[in-house]
Amino acid sequence: MKKTGSQILLECLLREGVDTVFGYPGGTVINIYHDLADYPIRHILTRHEQAAVHAADGYARTTGRVGVAIATSGPGATNTVTGIATAYMDSIPLVVITGQVPTPLIGNDAFQEVDIVGITRSITKHNYLVQDIKDLARIIKQAFYIARTGRPGPVLIDFPKDIQIQSTWFEYPDKVEMRGYKPTYSGNLRQVEKAANLIMAARKPVIYVGGGASGADASEELLAFAEMTRIPVTTTLLGMAVFPQRHTQSLGMLGMHGTYYANMAVTHSDLLIAVGARFDDRVTGKIASFAPHAKIIHIDIDPTSIKKNVRVDLPIVGDLKDVLKKLADALDRRSDELPALIHAMGPWREEIAAWKRGYPMVYQSSDSVIKPQYVIEQLSELCSEDAIITTEVGQHQMWTAQFFAFSRPRTFLTSGGLGTMGYGLPAALGAQVAFPERQVIDISGDGSFQMNSQELATLVQYGLPVKIVILNNQYLGMVRQWQELFFDRRYSQTPLELPIDFVKLAEAYGATGFSVSRPDQVREVICKAFETPGPVIMEFKVDREENVMPMVPAGAAINEMVLAS
């Protein structure tokens, strides 16, 4: 039976197991939307194309499946760029489908024509311009395969309008064969044995975990490996929920706003085992001073990430689940030697314990003004264990990383690599669509929230009970903090002088809003919001000039921390 291009697209989505897409209609995708009504695929109408991609991103991060977003050509397509770049930097599997003007008009500056393939070439894992309807099924099959295999990432398909209405015989490919793209999943056993040798010889080892461990669903293997060896574990921002933060071996987050003891442990380590991490500048600080005494084992599925930013003594390319299991098996074969290793690390564990006692994660409490860290602590205590937390970007993001005790994988969604303000609310939307029965909370600042606040309408339309926490300090807080510490307190364009009534804003969209300014109201409002059906905004008017501490100044080594402002 012959099918049109738009029907073939939808048939292919079903074959790939897609049950939900996020998008916004327009002229060059109107045929797709016309046929969508005939298919058992749920469409979530966001209020902005950027939000559609962030929502697909949130869906992907929580489920581990490929997220799908649809946008029209021109401004619709360009509005997806920030969302695509966010997913690319954090290795999130997406397929983004953009409409394009009819093939004969491409290159003629037609109405709502842009070269979205050219625009997104550097921020996609791969992209396609469909030029022949006979290639369409193969392209979609490849797009999903590329997005989810190897190091995951976004793939864009630019779909001209004339090809959407053409017809051809539909046949979905059984498999994908792509020359030059063969991800390595099985870790080399010889390299694994070498890694085991380095571990057995180490006396001050640290496991350093990045977001790749989440993408690989390797939390169980990581926990087993860590507990077998008793090696302390530190995580990046994106790796936080992969390892339980209350675990006795947890050092919390390292880097610019990491814990003192994580940064000191890495600095003084003699072996650093990097698991799905890419050694970005927010983690390493001054490269020349990063882990200066350590041999480095780097485990990653992406060979191009290894040795990209730091020297590596032993690379292992492969899927993290596979490599960690093989590494645990290699050590298990030396089980008679493990007690001696654990005993030899005793002084190292004592040294770390002393750093924890001497420099814990604390803040100056107050009875008169709400401290943002206190709000995060109360949220962590009061929400359900499987709650999904999203954040925007700024001070509130760092306080969440510092003071929320994550314990389960795929429960912390945040923009790490790109640092995208406006990410959290639509990502929470996508997560709530994926898990309608679970608690989903977006933690935001008053600046970031306004980047995509229109998605309140989407929450209300679909009855998505996302709870939104706004830590309102009436500043663009992180930039203000830098201005205070390094720019002589010249607060240029960071005060948000026009106060927003977030309660009225919530009510205008048909949601519920609460606002508090006293510490003794915090727990009560959180509990009340959790009991309230539908989306809720909780505004906490916090200490206006509270800073995120500790911090590593730009250009400094990670052990050169400013502990208090």
In the residue annotation, 49 being an active-site residue is answered as yes
Determine if the peptide bond prior to 232 is cis (ω within 30°): no
Q: Which amino acid, 1?
A: M
Integer CA distances (angstroms), 244 to 253, 373, 411, 428, 456, in order: 12, 19, 11, 21, 32
How do strand 512-516 and strand 536-541 relate by DSSP bridges? parallel
* H or E element at residue 373: helix 372-382
Half-sphere exposure of 471 (CA within 13 A, CB side): 32
Among 264, 478, 549, 561, the one annotated catalytic: 478
How do strand 512-516 and strand 440-445 relate by DSSP bridges? unpaired
Integer CA distances (angstroms), 184 to 54, 150, 191, 316, in order: 29, 7, 14, 10
How do strand 412-413 and strand 467-472 relate by DSSP bridges? unpaired
Written as six digits, the tokens of 377 are 């602590």
Which 3-state string (H, E, C) describes 429-482? HHHHHHCCCCCEEEEEEHHHHCCCHHHHHHHHHHCCCCEEEEEECCECHHHHHH
Contact 57, 83 (CB under 8 A): yes
Distance spanning both ends of the chain, measured CA to CA: 70
SS3 202: coil
* CA gap 95, 88 in Å, rounded: 11
Among 125, 141, 161, 325, the one annotated catalytic: 161
Written as six digits, the tokens of 519 are 């510490």
In the residue annotation, 178 being an active-site residue is answered as no
In the residue annotation, 478 being an active-site residue is answered as yes
Written as six digits, the tokens of 37 are 């009504």
Among 3, 16, 49, 551, the one annotated catalytic: 49
**514-519 contacts at long range (C-beta below 8 A, 24 or more positions apart):** 514/538, 514/539, 515/539, 515/541, 516/370, 516/540, 516/541, 517/370, 517/541, 518/368, 518/370, 519/366, 519/367, 519/368, 519/369, 519/370, 519/371, 519/374
Contact 458, 480 (CB under 8 A): no
Catalytic residues: 49, 111-112, 161, 478
